[in-house]
Structure 1
Amino acid sequence: MKHLLLTAVAAVSFVLPASADEPAPVPSPGEIAATAPAADWTLIAPSDLLVMDLAPDAKGKPRRVVIQLMPAPFSQGWIGNIRMLAAVHWWDGTSVNRVQDNYVVQWGDATEKKALPEGLAVMAESGYVESGFASAGVHAGVGGTERLLSVPVKTDAFSGLTGFWDGWPVAGAKEGYHVWPVHCYGAVGVGRNMSPDTGSGAELYTVIGHAPRHLDRNIAVVGRVISGIEHLSSLPRGTGALGFYEDPAERVGIRSIRIAIELPAAEQPRFEYLSTESDSFARYADARANRRDPFFITPAGGADICNIPVPIRPVVAK
């Protein structure tokens, strides 16, 4: 069973003093993640990784961005389209067309004339939110599975509650039955036109600024950048409306976008995340909300859902 963990756990110290006279050093969130046992880490399947290779930078260095696609039940119609677009190499030769400061980087076909493959699904706006979750420790059977939603200690400015589902930050209605993925830094969403258009998945963007949570439930969130965000966030800002590049020469070319399993085995990126159901993650989340390591004077006593990023690290080949 997958559980939704609290974003704000009780401010209880998990570190015992070494002696009555000498308190043990308090670990930082990063140290907690770094020392988490191997059993607390979950491998991300290569079939869930989207690999985007941009044109090399001005010094000829390669620029690779790796995106983890969101697991079921969220945004699966759009993700199915993204898989199809990657399979037919639709993005090859397209470009990064928009870079808006403190907001998003967007990529796709700047000409808006490239034909889309046949068979792409059309999603309804209802797909932005998933139902069938339970609240306050109550179990609810949905589609042959049980989904447990736990109410966090503190509410959220944009929702009734927030937490984690299968390693992803999500928000929900106060009663808990409706849940949706959220726009944190690095989140990947689907560009669209005015409602009722919901976008096909051919136009994508990632967040490079303060979390634009007002977009939640208004656009499909389909993934998150887990490696190479610096290749996008460092790009020159567009000077046109909404940060679009006015001069085509400013656009950054996309050489290819592939699902990782399409790459040769030796080239497939491998990553793992700290399970949000583990004790290590509970300690990590508590440390993010209540900084007790030496630099901090006053613990905040809480944290926004986007201020508890799920630790993700590359798997080192042995």
Structure 2
Amino acid sequence: MQEILDATQPGDWRALDPANTLYLDLASGRVVMELAPGFAPAHVQNIRTLAKEGYWNGLSINRSQDNFVVQWGDAAEDDKQKKPLGSASAKLPAEFERASKGVKFDRLPDKDGWAPQAGFADGFPAARDPQSGKAWLAHCYGAIGAGRDVAPDSSNGTELYVVTGQSPRQLDRNITVVGRVVQGIELLSVLPRGTGPLGFYEKPEQRTQIKAIRLASEVPENDRVPLELLRTDTPAFTQLVEARRNRRDEWYKRPAGHIDLCNVPLPVRTPKK
């Protein structure tokens, strides 16, 4: 795979848009996340508002469920004690899927067990159904979702989680996916597992405090993390997928001839100065 990456051209890579990039700052470091306004426009706009107004600053990571998710938000159980939302919306429509028309879809060649077609849209792992004309983002490792209650429209982006285990694709089209982690997920995956139901922490001191969650566009340029992502609509990415579908490394004796959507690597690099 490295040979393919070494042969890429500058145009094979794309820079993160600061307006769609979130920084989750912890004492242990920074998690960089890319938002997906093409699939969850209302949620992304609300998340932008929450970040600009410092909603998450001083709140905490409240859940770490083994082989599943890490989740953060307001841990207050009493609604009267919860942090005000400021000018953000308290209620949003469910954004589980969108019309596939107009979505540039880079399709994988293999069958998918969860959807008629799987591939990438705007660089995000995605799936679509030509018969229904719908497309949606997939719950791969690193996916960011908006936690909700039973009602489909009960999420507003204040409670966010990151998939830190085997891809729970059964959640596809059941929760609004708002983006994905592009760097620093190890800071979340190593957190101690919660001992309460569903991996929630039972004591306040077990939680991890959030220093800040900010949009990159609100951060001074010299404090931003310069990252580039390999575009999924390039010959280089097609070569990378094939190299993983059929491993030709000396160690492999039987190429699989198949790759799962969530097993396709999505390279990220720091651009050369």
Q: Name the TM tier (shorter chain).
A: over 0.9
| Structure-2 separation of matches of 1:227 and 1:110 | 25
| Structure-2 separation of matches of 1:44 and 1:118 | 26
Whether 1:128 and 2:128 are equivalent positions in the alignment is: no
Contact 2:106 2:233 in 1 (8 A): no
CA pair 151-33 structure 1, distance change in 2 beyond 3 A: closer
Whether 1:35 and 2:35 are equivalent positions in the alignment is: no
Gaps (5+ residues) in structure 1? 1-28, 57-61, 134-145
Q: Which of 15, 19, 24 is the equivalent residue of 1:47?
A: 19
CA pair 292-198 structure 1, distance change in 2 beyond 3 A: farther
User: What do the CA deviations read for 1:253-275 (whole angstroms, capped 9, x no partner)?
Assistant: 00111001211110011211111
Give the equivalent residue in structure 1 for 2:72.
107
Q: What's the % identity of the aligned pairs?
A: 44
How do residues 28-177 of structure 1 correspond to structure 2 at under 5 angstroms?
A: 29-54=1-26, 56=27, 62-72=28-38, 74-112=39-77, 113-120=82-89, 122-125=91-94, 127-133=95-101, 146-147=102-103, 149=105, 152-175=108-131, 177=133
CA shift, 1:151, in A, is 6.0
CA shift, 1:47, in A, is 1.7
Tell me which amino acid in the other structure corresponds to 1:201.
G
Contact 2:67 2:164 in 1 (8 A): yes
Contact 2:22 2:34 in 1 (8 A): yes
Contact 1:149 1:176 in 2 (8 A): no
| Structure-1 separation of matches of 2:160 and 2:121 | 23
CA shift, 1:114, in A, is 1.4
User: What do the CA deviations read for 1:4-49 (whole angstroms, capped 9, x no partner)?
Assistant: xxxxxxxxxxxxxxxxxxxxxxxxx233123312221111112221
CA shift, 1:150, in A, is 6.7
Q: Which of 220, 225, 235 is the equivalent residue of 1:264?
A: 220
User: What do the CA deviations read for 1:237-262 (whole angstroms, capped 9, x no partner)?
Assistant: 00000000001100000011100121
Q: Which of 204, 209, 219 is the equivalent residue of 2:175?
A: 219
Contact 2:106 2:121 in 1 (8 A): no
Whether 1:249 and 2:214 are equivalent positions in the alignment is: no
Contact 2:104 2:121 in 1 (8 A): no
CA pair 175-150 structure 1, distance change in 2 beyond 3 A: farther
CA shift, 1:293, in A, is 1.8
| Structure-1 separation of matches of 2:105 and 2:116 | 12
Larger radius of gyration: 1
Contact 1:198 1:219 in 2 (8 A): no
CA RMSD of aligned residues (A): 1.7
CA shift, 1:221, in A, is 0.6
CA pair 252-119 structure 1, distance change in 2 beyond 3 A: closer
The alignment of Structure 1 onto Structure 2 pairs a total of residues equal to: 269
TM normalised by structure 2 equals: 0.93
